[in-house]
A and B are shown apart, each in its own frame.
Chain A
Amino acid sequence: MSARPGAGARLADGGLIDRTRTLRFRFDGREYAGHPGDTLASALLAHGVHRVARSFKYHRSRGILSAGFEEPNALVELGEGDARVPNTPATTIELFEGLDAQSQNRWPSLRFDLRAVNRLFSALLPAGFYYKTFMWPAAFWERVYEPAIRRAAGLGRASGAPDPATYERSYGFCDVLVVGAGPAGLAAALGAARSGARVWLVEADCRAGGRLLAERLAIGGEPALRWVEATVAELESMPTVRVLRRATAVGRYDGGVYAILERVGADRAQSAPFEPRERLWHVVARHGVLASGAIEQPLVFENNDLPGILLAGAVRAYANRYAVLAGRRVVVATSCDDAWATARDLLRAGASVEAIVDQRPAAARGPGAWAPDGVPVETGWLRRARGRDRVRAVEIEAASGRTRRVACDAIAMSGGWAPQLQLATHLGERLRWDGAAQCFAPESWPPDLSGAGAVCGEFGLAAALAAGARCGTGAARALGFRATDLVLPAVEPDRPLQTVPSRAARAVRAAFVDWQNDVTIADVQLAVREGFAASEHLKRYTTLGMATDQGKTSSLNGLIALAEATGRRLEELGPTTHRPPVVPVTIGALAGRHRGRHYRPTRLPPAHAVAADLGAVFVETGPWLRAQVFPRAGDRGWLDAMCREVNTVRRAVGVCDVSTLGKVDVQGADAPEFLERVYASRIATLAIGRVRYALMRREDGFVMDDGTVARLGERHYLLSTTTAGAVDVYRHLQYCRQVLWPDLDVRLASVTDQWAQFAVAGPRSRELLGRLVEPGIDLADPQFPLLAAGSVRLGDGTAARLFRVSFCGELAYELAVPARAAHRTLERLFEAGAPLGVAPYGLEALGAMRIEKGHVAGNEINGQTTAADLGLGRWTTKDGDSVGAVLARRPGLADPQRPRLAGFVPVDRAQRLGAGAHLIALGAPRDAAHDEGYLSSVAYSPTLGHWIGLGFLRRAAERVGERVLAHDPLRGRDALVEVVETPFVDPRGERLRG
């Protein structure tokens, strides 16, 4: 393998790329070509393109630093228009035909960036600069400073348009989940899978192999990738194994739950039909094996962010996997053995290694630190890189103190490898510094998670394979599978010595610790001087490690710098807390299919289609769609429709679908006793065939819900609840039955969905129902009086239930039919009622009529009102131990000064009222201290011809006839109102009785 002279940086042969095919792509509008197997980063490097971004704060030219997910610099926008995805690392973008990427954070162009002048002022932009400078005046922050700073500093742009791609959520279950398909992960998966355990192997890359893809290693005497391919093939042949590629385990949660982001369509411009762009897996694993490897750390020296300065392992990956030379004259700088392999691989590929600079004296180096003859080896440090948009030279400071300058076009640096332990700490586990292994390690592993390979500081191929096999078989055995030990192929013994830099940096100017957030060593030192000397404080003050890469290449150097600046050892400093996700997750993947209409389920009452045919305008009430009004041609607005509907009910007959009300069927010998305990109202005296209004209280004494209780038989009751309260009330009833009184013989079933219910209301409602029920059924008063309840058979044979209850104050019934009969029954009501002038009415009319009648609803039963507040004290028992009875009697709730429900009308009848307006005595200051209550519900009353309201007012009963101010600062609309008694309409209830 050798570099072709003058033909870009692509090597003439080698690499895991398909040279038989060429892929064309665009970067910042320019055409390039690459091969299948390339990433965007490797394809750009093959063309000699190093500078791909401008930095976040100082707008410095930045190049490709890494070859993986840890990339802090080379973030690009992918795609155009509404499909644009910002902040994607070029090092993880698989090249495909027609790929179109844009650099970010530059204006107007990458080459000529106006905001690069920030660099000239870098001394003026230290850590905490924004906090300190843009403090005054406070109002300027939101309007002037923040938008300007964001425009100048922002990362990529979101498109602002709906994402045309689809995303989905999937669920999986396995015995052993192996994270990472490097040598350790493959051995672990194989060891567990051969026992018959259900194994999932997830790999972030598009190929299995991990570091083996980037190395020139042998397993069993053959190239290591042969072993990788054979192992993957064996795993994929087993029905109990699932191998996910392009899948990153991003979070670990209680109970062995893992979130895994699968980038399904990452290798193509357009997803296949019905294929999601990304899939978020929710996988439950009985045991996890973490084989997520380690990430190489950079070195800190002046101008260490110049394009052309890469991690040593990345230089090796580009040479071996992508057949691309990151440079032809390379300086290798390191604090550990591993980077020496980069020098050897570069030499083999035909590049020149200008120097190997190891911070350790020769005696402190390990067996991996050897170089072919003729390569200059120096014990020392890099002091300063030179160059503008690409590194041109570097100043080396030898241990002796002598400084020399070496020309180069690339620097391969290594500050050691940091294990990727995020998943091991997501549940609050702590890490400690392991001085011997020179890396962080968990204080202890949780029982359902183990680690294998580099993630445990076991660097080297032999160690990784052995640890993986041990973990995989161990996990399977612990779960009860019979696992046999793997016979591992022979590999060359290798024990690279890992050492992190013993001091942070040789310079303070423009020596970067965090590339993505532009945090320098000087910022760290400043933070320490200002007292932010704990790692979590340092992070928040300097933003070190807070960018989208979450400190993958900066946290360790930040800690080393902090240790040095405070004279402490790494053992004394805890790393900052890792929280999910490990890599950025698109909002689309989190949302999955729950977008727009699918954000939550829509519930439709069973006769919804009938209302739709009648031209209803629907409104969301919780999950339900309910008819709001039924407009007709000529209506000037919803108010016209509402008034017509109310007038129809008050003069003829109207029908309203009330199926959404909660319904609970209660049966059992102790049902009367149970209901007596859960309702504040008296139930024991309710006779068979009768229905009663009833209040339910919470244990704290406030009203929880209201509804009706119908007694259908000796041991059989049917409860109704409000629409909004249906779920909570049912759960509460089950709590009362199961937890409070498990000895009562009573059973509950929610039948909300099983029964449809229609309010048939108005003076002609009896006549209308008479046309529906079987001939011979008498609905007249003596047979079916007010508050009667019973079974009736309809003319078409439907077994229905009829309740003589009224919410609107007219002669009215509620007719309940099984859901399957809902549609035809509602149609039949309108057919049979046509000669009687029937019309449908919606929620607006329902609400106006209940306010006219002074009935309370959700605005009044708001969790802060008692039965007495609501004027419903007569509906509660004075004695007894029903839920909430004891605390309803406490002095605070029994206080007569509490605001009570009353009616309100505007003194100027033409004036409109607003719910939420506060009630203030005439002449009193309009402030909170003089607040005496509020309007809870208002409506235009078609019956009275003006606005009316319900509200709560102190000592309301004594103040009927008094005028108070309804103060509405939100709408800027005050109204003089008069306190009146309710109901507003038909106070003696004569219409109710028909």
Chain B
Amino acid sequence: MRIPCPFCGLRGHEEFVVDGDATVTRPAPGRPDAPTAAVRFVYLRDNPAGWHREWWFHAFGCERWIVVERDTVTHAVGRVWSAGDPAPGEDR
């Protein structure tokens, strides 16, 4: 698989470390349902067949965490953007 790193260009997946679901967000501190929200954030994952967003770390490159849109059925790679940035065309 090849991943178009937004900083380094198209690179082999061997340069990256994958860290799973990028659709979950860490719950804001101090909310009343903090334990439940934390369990959801840490343990609950969807397993979609099709397009998915994943965190990848360019360990042997720019050391940036990036979001990769990937089709879990075909392994096709879609949009890619840097952590901290909104998805292209989407509001933060």
Where the two chains meet, the residues of A that have a C-beta atom closer than 8 Å to any C-beta of B are 253-257, 284, 427-428, 699-700, 731, 734-735, 738-740, 742-743, 881, 886-887, 889-890
* Cα(A978)–Cα(B1), bound, Å: 56
User: Can you name the residue of chain B whose Cβ is closest to the Cβ of A888?
Assistant: B38
Kindly list chain A residues whose C-beta atoms are within 8 Å of the C-beta of B51: none
With contacts A255-B1, A700-B42 taken as known, whether A739 is within 8 angstroms of B84 at the C-beta atoms is yes
User: Can you name the residue of chain B whose Cβ is closest to the Cβ of A730?
Assistant: B63
Q: Are A739 and B83 in contact (CB under 8 A)?
A: yes
Q: Which of A254, A257, A699 has the most CB of B within 10 A?
A: A254
With contacts A735-B57, A739-B83 taken as known, whether A257 is within 8 angstroms of B29 at the C-beta atoms is no
User: Can you name the residue of chain A whose Cβ is closest to the Cβ of B29?
Assistant: A881
Q: Mark B13-43, 1 if CB is under 8 A from A, else 0.
A: 1000101000000100110001100110111
* Cα(A890)–Cα(B34), bound, Å: 11
The 8 Å CB contact of B35, one of A255, A735, A887, is A887
List 21 contacting pairs A-B, 8 Å CB cutoff, sorted by A. Answer: A254-B13, A255-B1, A255-B12, A256-B2, A257-B2, A699-B26, A699-B38, A699-B41, A699-B42, A700-B42, A731-B57, A734-B57, A735-B55, A735-B57, A738-B64, A738-B65, A738-B82, A739-B84, A742-B83, A881-B30, A887-B38
Q: Are A740 and B35 in contact (CB under 8 A)?
A: no
Q: Mark B56-88, 1 if CB is under 8 A from A, else 0.
A: 010100011100000000110100001110000
Known: A255-B77, A731-B17, A735-B55. 7 other contacts (CB 8 A): A255-B12, A257-B12, A700-B43, A734-B63, A738-B84, A739-B55, A886-B35
* Cα(A700)–Cα(B26), bound, Å: 12
The 8 Å CB contact of A890, one of B12, B35, B65, is B35
Q: Are B1 and A254 in contact (CB under 8 A)?
A: yes
Kindly list chain A residues whose C-beta atoms are within 8 Å of the C-beta of B26: 699, 740
Q: Are A255 and B39 in contact (CB under 8 A)?
A: no
Q: Are B84 and A742 in contact (CB under 8 A)?
A: yes
* Cα(A740)–Cα(B24), bound, Å: 11
Shortest distance in angstroms between A11's beta carbon and chain B's nearest beta carbon? 50
Chain B contact-residue range equals: 20 to 34
Q: Are B2 and A284 in contact (CB under 8 A)?
A: yes
* Closest CB pairs A-B (n = 3): A742-B84, A255-B2, A881-B29
* Cα(A735)–Cα(B17), bound, Å: 12
Q: Are B2 and A254 in contact (CB under 8 A)?
A: yes
Kindly list chain A residues whose C-beta atoms are within 8 Å of the C-beta of B75: 254-255, 427
Shortest distance in angstroms between B46's beta carbon and chain A's nearest beta carbon? 18
Shortest distance in angstroms between A215's beta carbon and chain B's nearest beta carbon? 39
Shortest distance in angstroms between A89's beta carbon and chain B's nearest beta carbon? 32
Kindly list chain B residues whose C-beta atoms are within 8 Å of the C-beta of A890: 35, 39
Kindly list chain B residues whose C-beta atoms are within 8 Å of the C-beta of A886: 34-35, 38
* Cα(A427)–Cα(B63), bound, Å: 29
* Cα(A738)–Cα(B64), bound, Å: 8
Q: Which of B29, B57, B65, B74 has the most CB of A within 10 A?
A: B65
Kindly list chain B residues whose C-beta atoms are within 8 Å of the C-beta of A742: 83-84
User: Can you name the residue of chain A whose Cβ is closest to the Cβ of B4?
Assistant: A255
Kindly list chain A residues whose C-beta atoms are within 8 Å of the C-beta of B64: 738
* Cα(A165)–Cα(B75), bound, Å: 36
User: Can you name the residue of chain B whose Cβ is closest to the Cβ of A742?
Assistant: B84
Shortest distance in angstroms between A57's beta carbon and chain B's nearest beta carbon? 39
Kindly list chain A residues whose C-beta atoms are within 8 Å of the C-beta of B38: 699, 886-887
Kindly list chain B residues whose C-beta atoms are within 8 Å of the C-beta of A427: 74-75
Shortest distance in angstroms between A678's beta carbon and chain B's nearest beta carbon? 13
Shortest distance in angstroms between A621's beta carbon and chain B's nearest beta carbon? 21
Shortest distance in angstroms between B64's beta carbon and chain A's nearest beta carbon? 7
Shortest distance in angstroms between A744's beta carbon and chain B's nearest beta carbon? 10
Kindly list chain A residues whose C-beta atoms are within 8 Å of the C-beta of B39: 887, 890
User: Can you name the residue of chain A whose Cβ is closest to the Cβ of B38?
Assistant: A886
Q: Are A889 and B65 in contact (CB under 8 A)?
A: no
* Cα(A735)–Cα(B74), bound, Å: 27
Kindly list chain A residues whose C-beta atoms are within 8 Å of the C-beta of B74: 427-428
* Cα(A255)–Cα(B75), bound, Å: 8
* Cα(A700)–Cα(B40), bound, Å: 11
Shortest distance in angstroms between A882's beta carbon and chain B's nearest beta carbon? 9
With contacts A253-B1, A699-B41, A738-B84 taken as known, whether A731 is within 8 angstroms of B34 at the C-beta atoms is no
Shortest distance in angstroms between B20's beta carbon and chain A's nearest beta carbon? 11
Shortest distance in angstroms between A138's beta carbon and chain B's nearest beta carbon? 37
* Cα(A887)–Cα(B43), bound, Å: 11
Shortest distance in angstroms between A238's beta carbon and chain B's nearest beta carbon? 25
Kindly list chain B residues whose C-beta atoms are within 8 Å of the C-beta of A881: 29-30
* Cα(A175)–Cα(B37), bound, Å: 48
Kindly list chain B residues whose C-beta atoms are within 8 Å of the C-beta of A253: 1
User: Can you name the residue of chain A whose Cβ is closest to the Cβ of B59?
Assistant: A731
* Cα(A739)–Cα(B21), bound, Å: 12
* Cα(A734)–Cα(B84), bound, Å: 12
Shortest distance in angstroms between B43's beta carbon and chain A's nearest beta carbon? 8
Shortest distance in angstroms between B58's beta carbon and chain A's nearest beta carbon? 10
Kindly list chain A residues whose C-beta atoms are within 8 Å of the C-beta of B55: 735, 739
* Cα(A539)–Cα(B19), bound, Å: 37
Kindly list chain A residues whose C-beta atoms are within 8 Å of the C-beta of B43: 700
Kindly list chain A residues whose C-beta atoms are within 8 Å of the C-beta of B59: 731
User: Can you name the residue of chain A whose Cβ is closest to the Cβ of B66?
Assistant: A738
* Cα(A731)–Cα(B58), bound, Å: 10
* Cα(A93)–Cα(B83), bound, Å: 54
Shortest distance in angstroms between B79's beta carbon and chain A's nearest beta carbon? 15
Kindly list chain B residues whose C-beta atoms are within 8 Å of the C-beta of A428: 74
With contacts A427-B75, A699-B42, A739-B55 taken as known, whether A734 is within 8 angstroms of B1 at the C-beta atoms is no
Kindly list chain B residues whose C-beta atoms are within 8 Å of the C-beta of A739: 55, 65, 83-84
Kindly list chain A residues whose C-beta atoms are within 8 Å of the C-beta of B17: 731
User: Can you name the residue of chain A whose Cβ is closest to the Cβ of B73?
Assistant: A428
Shortest distance in angstroms between A213's beta carbon and chain B's nearest beta carbon? 36
Q: Are B65 and A887 in contact (CB under 8 A)?
A: no
Q: Are B35 and A738 in contact (CB under 8 A)?
A: no
Shortest distance in angstroms between A802's beta carbon and chain B's nearest beta carbon? 29
Q: Are B42 and A887 in contact (CB under 8 A)?
A: yes
With contacts A257-B12, A742-B83 taken as known, whether A889 is within 8 angstroms of B35 at the C-beta atoms is yes
Kindly list chain B residues whose C-beta atoms are within 8 Å of the C-beta of A734: 57, 63, 65
Q: Are B41 and A738 in contact (CB under 8 A)?
A: no
Shortest distance in angstroms between A896's beta carbon and chain B's nearest beta carbon? 19
User: Can you name the residue of chain B whose Cβ is closest to the Cβ of A887?
Assistant: B38
* Cα(A295)–Cα(B29), bound, Å: 65
* Cα(A740)–Cα(B41), bound, Å: 12
* Cα(A200)–Cα(B63), bound, Å: 33
* Cα(A256)–Cα(B35), bound, Å: 45
Shortest distance in angstroms between A702's beta carbon and chain B's nearest beta carbon? 11
Shortest distance in angstroms between B6's beta carbon and chain A's nearest beta carbon? 12
Kindly list chain A residues whose C-beta atoms are within 8 Å of the C-beta of B2: 254-257, 284
* Cα(A257)–Cα(B12), bound, Å: 9
Shortest distance in angstroms between A177's beta carbon and chain B's nearest beta carbon? 14
Shortest distance in angstroms between A878's beta carbon and chain B's nearest beta carbon? 15
User: Can you name the residue of chain A whose Cβ is closest to the Cβ of B34?
Assistant: A886
* Cα(A257)–Cα(B82), bound, Å: 25
Kindly list chain A residues whose C-beta atoms are within 8 Å of the C-beta of B12: 255, 257, 284
Shortest distance in angstroms between A676's beta carbon and chain B's nearest beta carbon? 12
* Cα(A700)–Cα(B38), bound, Å: 8
* Cα(A699)–Cα(B82), bound, Å: 22
User: Can you name the residue of chain B whose Cβ is closest to the Cβ of A883?
Assistant: B26
User: Can you name the residue of chain B whose Cβ is closest to the Cβ of A748?
Assistant: B63
Kindly list chain B residues whose C-beta atoms are within 8 Å of the C-beta of A743: 84
Kindly list chain B residues whose C-beta atoms are within 8 Å of the C-beta of A738: 64-65, 82-84
Shortest distance in angstroms between B40's beta carbon and chain A's nearest beta carbon? 11
Kindly list chain A residues whose C-beta atoms are within 8 Å of the C-beta of B84: 738-739, 742-743
Shortest distance in angstroms between A670's beta carbon and chain B's nearest beta carbon? 14
* Cα(A257)–Cα(B59), bound, Å: 21
Shortest distance in angstroms between A435's beta carbon and chain B's nearest beta carbon? 28
Q: Which of A734, A738, A740, A886 has the most CB of B within 10 A?
A: A886
Kindly list chain A residues whose C-beta atoms are within 8 Å of the C-beta of B77: 255
* Cα(A889)–Cα(B39), bound, Å: 12
* Cα(A284)–Cα(B1), bound, Å: 10
Shortest distance in angstroms between A235's beta carbon and chain B's nearest beta carbon? 26
* Cα(A690)–Cα(B86), bound, Å: 39
